[in-house]
Amino acid sequence: MAINNENSILTKEKEKLAKPSMYAVIMLNDDYTPMEFVIYVLQSVFKKNYEDAKRIMLTIHNEGKGICGVFPLDIAETKANQVVEFARINQHPLECKVQKQ
């Protein structure tokens, strides 16, 4: 807060908040994880509808990787870890990486 000496009025200074950096969660293709499992993960972890999940899965399959979503760092890391943990529980080698946008 600042004090205006002429009129003795308190004015509130506007705080400038920077937008947080955003990070993409990128799923990597492998030769072992079933396509249906990838679709399920995209629907459950990233809340994608079936059509979007299938499109992303095909991108991962055809291009070797695909963006599952873009989030602030803490959320991106959490989602990537959830994917890897769930894949390991189900005995799949699925991997994700987090990349700054």
Q: What pLDDT does 15 receive? A: 78
Provide the whole-model pTM. Answer: 0.82
Residue length of the chain:
101
Q: What pLDDT does 5 receive? A: 59
**How many Å is the Cα radius of gyration of the chain?**
21
**Which mean pLDDT values do the consecutive 10-residue runs of the chain (101 residues) have?**
58 78 99 98 99 99 99 99 99 98 97
Q: What pLDDT does 69 receive? A: 99
Planar angle of CA 51, 56, 60, nearest 5 degrees: 145
Going from the N-terminus, what domains does the chain have, and what CATH number goes with each? 20-100 (3.30.1390.10)
